[in-house]
Amino acid sequence: MRGRVLVFGSWWAERPSAVLLWLVLLTLFLSPVAFAQSPADSTDTEALDEAVLETLVDEDVSGDPTVLLETLEDLRDNPLDINRATAEQLALIPSISPILAETIARFREQFGEFDSLPELRAVEGVTDDVYAAARPYLSIGEVLDVVAPTPSPFPNAPSVQQVVRGLRYEVRQRVQRRLDEGRGYSDALRDDTTRASYSGSPERIYTRLRATYRRQVSANLTLEKDPGELFTWAPDQGSYGYDFASAHVAVLDAGRLDALIVGDFTAEFGQGVALWRPSGFGKGRELRPIVRSGRGLRPYSSVEENQFFRGVAATVAATPELYLSAFGSRRSLDANVVRADTSLAGSLAGSPGDAFGDTDALATSLPITGFHRTATELARKDALNETLFGGATELRLDRATVGLVGYTARFDTPIQRGARDFQRFDFEGETASMLSAYFDVTLLRNRDGGGGYQAFGEVARAPGGAVGGVVGTLAKLGREVEALVVARHYPRDFVSLRGYAFGERNGVTQNETGLYLGLRLRPARDWTVTGFFDQYRFPYLRFTVPRPATGYEALLYVEHRPTRWLTVYAQGRTETREVGLDVADPNGSVVGGLTTETRQTLRLHGSYLANRALRLRARVEVARYQEARLGGEPDRDAEFGVLLFQDVRWQTTDWLRLDARLTFFDTASFDARLYQFESDATGVLTNVVLTGRGTRAYLLATVEPTERVRLQAKLAQTRFEDRFTVGSGLDEVEGPQVRDLTVQLQIRF
Amino acid sequence: MRTRLRSAPTRCRRVFVHAVRSLDAVRWAPVVLAALLLGGPTALAQLAEGGARALALGRATVALGDDAWGHYNPATWSTLDQGTVALFASQPFGLAELRIAGLAAAYPTPYGTAALTARTYGFEDYRETTLGLGLARAVPLSRARRLHLGVHARLHTLSISEGFGSSNTLTVSAGALVQVVEGVQFGVHARNALAPRDADAKLDAPISTEPGLGLGLAYTPIPDATVLLAIDKSIEDQPASVRGGLEVRPIDVLAIRAGFTTAPARLSLGVGVNLTRVQAALAFENHDALGWTPAVDLTVRF
């Protein structure tokens, strides 16, 4: 017999497909009792997982979507009391629109408090689906038989004693590591001082310590070291062991004090044109997330390193309707800084004297990756200081919110934009001030089926004087029809340094005009149809696009849910847009031209809750990419990509849950790439882009020995059949596979 | 004594060399030519396997139960409620050198259904023999619903005469089958989930050991008709294969079948005769370039 057969036991671990096999084997030989439970009640077993996020964010989302994940997790950890939560709070839940939130609030006014959570379904508009999706974020407190005689218009402020007694603590420790190390970690490269290499170890280490009292008081410390960063004590470099640290102490919803935050915070107002957190929901198959609903000043506890504020922030309710906010932040940002007395200075536009004027240094770019792994990246760290002051006034009436928000930021080193054409309208200077006005009005519909209309918008004046904004309306007509129209206009010189408003380019609220139309229908009880059409135009050049360009994107999503344990859907998506192309003129010099590319995906997906313990999901997805040719040449052949996966979630016992997936993918090129969201440790969002040909598999084990402890471990492997190295640059890995390990421990007490 | 196979540039060429040696070059030429045109070993790799019923149904049977072969999904064994023995013979494209013969036996026990499979393919100078052991079992999900799971371990032996020796390859496949709603079954098959993947070992392995993933549905809208739809992606550099099949049972004893596959494109037709203890099936599959493949099988229940 061949040696290979004898060493069978050692190579199984290298086979990605083996994960499913071992699950099947385990199931075959373990007692079947684990499965023999009553049919699933999906309403209380569905945890927050990647399937939820998939509906909310664009697949090629930029920014740091884990911030979104943390928002939802916070909400789940501190569920809203359906009898106490205001309409505004209820609208934070992804499946509850402001209109529905108002409807719930009005129902409560008319018929009194809810006796139980399922009773919420009596409200017009709360379908089984909405209820199931909202259930994790809701709780029910004590039902008071007698309404308090004169309820205060403000939330109760807890006493210090109450807070100290009621504090809950959470410790979260996570280590992630790529088992196949990239080139940047090789000793040979590290010894060679003339070439770039990673200074630190390949682990990503994350620690979070948090103390909370309900939703009202929180104190948090988040620490993180990215792969390749040094774990070292160097206070002068802003590194205290971990490369990144974030902390805050916050009091929320206490009497007249709506928010008081010392430390790190975010400011999100209106539609996010002027101020928003580091990431926002994009064009997905749900319409609702597109409508931003600013939460004002919120404590920050995530790991995105460059786009939050650090300082003091407060919101006070002057009257029950009028909220006044003020915030001040001083922090350092990563930047490439060029000094006047160096040779690099000559490379800036014009002669050195022109560019520098009377300053001795200029910041030429502000990278936001947050990586400080190589000497170059370390040199950029905290190279620029920003001092920012801002304020907001918000009037929260019964069915309307109107607000005014503004800030002024000052950089200690002037920012110099690049000299290339497409950079002409980038930010430049030492100070940036922005002023913005926003509104959000809800009108309930007093006809059969309920529903209502919501109009919202924001207009802002950017540094330099450009005016831009977004306006839209959401109509909910009974249970069956929901329509959304959003128009956006951000001129080419509209520089919103801190905005993240709705748009085609996630997080870049500049140089874009567009119109979005969305429709959601429920033609029958078990059918849902969603579609959108979004047309946009970029009036000025962009990186790699040498001319103004246009494009459109459309989606059609059809979901069928014949029983509550089976959901199948088909989703088609198409995007056609103009991209840059190097065309030579008759003399041979390159003229920037445009060509049209089309990317389409079609997905078939099924999710089956076999019972309370087992969920099976399967997917087939095809991508098609085609680039048009100019000058009458025939179009290039279309490129295709295909993805198949089988996914299993198995709650084996009360304390052990297994998530496994096996994916086969085959794409002709990066243009025909496919994405998949994956289950991961709590607080980790994994959206993997698959390109090339191969398999990917993962196994995530979640162990919860008690309610207070959760231990998670995930092993993932991507194995390629069409290459011998994976990745590029310093992350290039020898061999056809990459394996990643994540281990996380969470303790609550 | 067994020796390691010498490396050859491609398996296809290896087959070709031996075919020429067996003095049948004239008959082999069109096959090899077509195979090369279709992208190397692809055309030969997808042998007519898994019974004449599956072949007639376009090999779209990953979600279909009641099958002794377990070739397209080992979980299917656990749907059998009687001991079953099946025999199969096929002559791909009418060529004696590619002749395949197979045997499958499955027996339900209190611990699950045990299965044994055997298959031989080729001719005197080039022979692939596969011996398999399987286990399948139904796991209760609720009172009425069950999840069928199965594994299939196979030892593939490739032997080439005249001093080239032989090699063994062990592969393991796993599958699951479940009725998701009344009349609709879903099946998944991680084919050869464990199989040699390094280039050296692959060269020595027989041609049907590459890993793949199959997903499929079987829909029975009325008791006398079943519609099948499946997709199969192999790790090899070929497009995903979409497959469909239709089985109509106008009278209890007769089944009429048709099916198709893409990548490569094939159409198939077949009939089946179902008696209480004996079932016979006949299938014809037409490859767009290589022509017709006849297959026949006989199943006995006891």
**How confident is the model over A578-588, as pLDDT tens digits?**
988 876 667 76
**Cα dihedral sign, A675-A676-A681-A684:** positive
Q: How confident is the model at residue A674 (pLDDT cuts 50, 70, 90)?
A: very high
Higher pLDDT, B158 or A59: B158
Higher pLDDT, A357 or B297: B297
pLDDT (0 to 100) of residue B197: 64
> Quick check: A154 contacting B, CB < 8 Å?
no
What are the 10-residue block averages of pLDDT along chain B, 302 residues in total?
40 48 47 45 61 95 93 95 94 86 94 94 85 94 88 90 80 94 94 74 69 95 95 90 96 95 92 94 91 94 90
Averaged pLDDT, A283-306: 85
> Quick check: A669 contacting B, CB < 8 Å?
no
Q: How confident is the model at residue A75 (pLDDT cuts 50, 70, 90)?
A: confident
Whole-prediction pTM value?
Answer: 0.86
Neighbour-count burial of A543, counting CB atoms closer than 10 A to its CB (0-12 exposed, 13-18 middle, 19+ buried): exposed
pLDDT (0 to 100) of residue A47: 45
pLDDT (0 to 100) of residue A343: 63
Contact B219, A608 (CB under 8 A): no
Question: A283-287, A336-340, A577-581, B178-182: which has the minimum mean pLDDT?
Answer: A283-287
pLDDT (0 to 100) of residue A14: 54
Q: Residue A273, Cβ neighbours under 10 Å: how many?
A: 32
Question: A29-33, A742-746, B53-57, B132-136: which has the minimum mean pLDDT?
Answer: A29-33
Higher pLDDT, A192 or B23: A192
Q: Residue A655, Cβ neighbours under 10 Å: how many?
A: 14
Residues of B in contact with A25 (CB under 8 A): 151, 174
Q: How confident is the model at residue A85 (pLDDT cuts 50, 70, 90)?
A: confident
CA geometry: angle A318, A324, A330, nearest 5 deg: 140
Tell me if A27 and B196 make a contact (CB, 8 A cut-off): no
Q: How far is CA A607 from CA A32, A113, A560, A618, in A?
A: 22, 35, 11, 7
pLDDT (0 to 100) of residue A109: 84
User: How many CB contacts within 8 angstroms connect chain A with chain B?
Assistant: 137
What confidence tens digit (pLDDT) does each residue in A220-259 have?
999 999 999 988 887 777 677 899 999 999 999 888 999 9
* Residues 672-711, chain A, touching B (beta carbon < 8 A): 693-695
Q: How confident is the model at residue A2 (pLDDT cuts 50, 70, 90)?
A: very low
Q: Smallest Cα–Cα separation from B91: which of B62, B58, B64, B55?
A: B55
**A355 pLDDT exceeds 90?**
no
Residues of B in contact with A666 (CB under 8 A): 233, 237, 239-240
Closest B-chain CA to A607: B180
Question: A336-350, A461-475, A666-680, B140-154: which has the minimum mean pLDDT?
Answer: A336-350
> Quick check: A646 contacting B, CB < 8 Å?
yes
Q: How confident is the model at residue A394 (pLDDT cuts 50, 70, 90)?
A: very high
Question: A110-124, A405-419, A462-476, B140-154: which has the minimum mean pLDDT?
Answer: A110-124
H or E segment to which residue A215 belongs: none
Tokens at A87, concatenated: 């309409």
* Residues 201-220, chain A, touching B (beta carbon < 8 A): none
Write down the H helix ranges in A349-452: 352-356, 375-380
Higher pLDDT, A5 or B16: B16
Tell me if A2 and B167 make a contact (CB, 8 A cut-off): yes
Q: Chain-centre distance of CA A314, in angstroms?
A: 25
> Quick check: A602 contacting B, CB < 8 Å?
no
pLDDT (0 to 100) of residue A39: 34
